[in-house]
């Protein structure tokens, strides 16, 4: 359904651009510029879309929190198949 990336870097960095393209296309549909510290990117997940994060250049590292939010599988069904289930 959607994915999220939160920029946790304390300083601006070079590179690390998020690109989204149609699976059958070579050119990106969207390219997010380098986010500022604290910026959040939310983008759609779909079978026909591909996303990629480009490499980071320079001495400043990129630190990010990423999450994927999907309707399936359900959280309960994942727990049933794991060692965490009761």
What pLDDT score was predicted for residue 51? 92
SS3 78: helix
What pLDDT score was predicted for residue 83? 62
Domain boundaries, the chain: 2-80
Tokens of 21: 């393209």
What percentage of the chain carries pLDDT values higher than 70?
A: 94
Those residues of the chain that have pLDDT short of 50 are 85-86
What pLDDT score was predicted for residue 20? 94
The per-residue b/e assignment along 40-72, b for 16 or more CB within 10 angstroms, e otherwise, is eeeeeeeeeeebeeeebeeeeebebeeeeeeee
């Amino acid at each position: 359904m959607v994915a999220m990336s939160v920029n946790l870097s304390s300083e601006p960095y070079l590179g690390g651009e998020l690109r989204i393209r149609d699976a059958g296309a070579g050119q990106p549909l969207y390219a997010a510029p380098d986010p500022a510290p604290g910026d959040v990117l939310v983008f759609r997940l779909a079978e026909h879309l591909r996303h990629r994060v480009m490499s980071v250049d320079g001495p400043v590292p990129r630190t990010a929190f990423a999450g994927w939010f999907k309707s399936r599988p359900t959280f309960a069904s994942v727990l049933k198949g794991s060692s965490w289930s009761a």
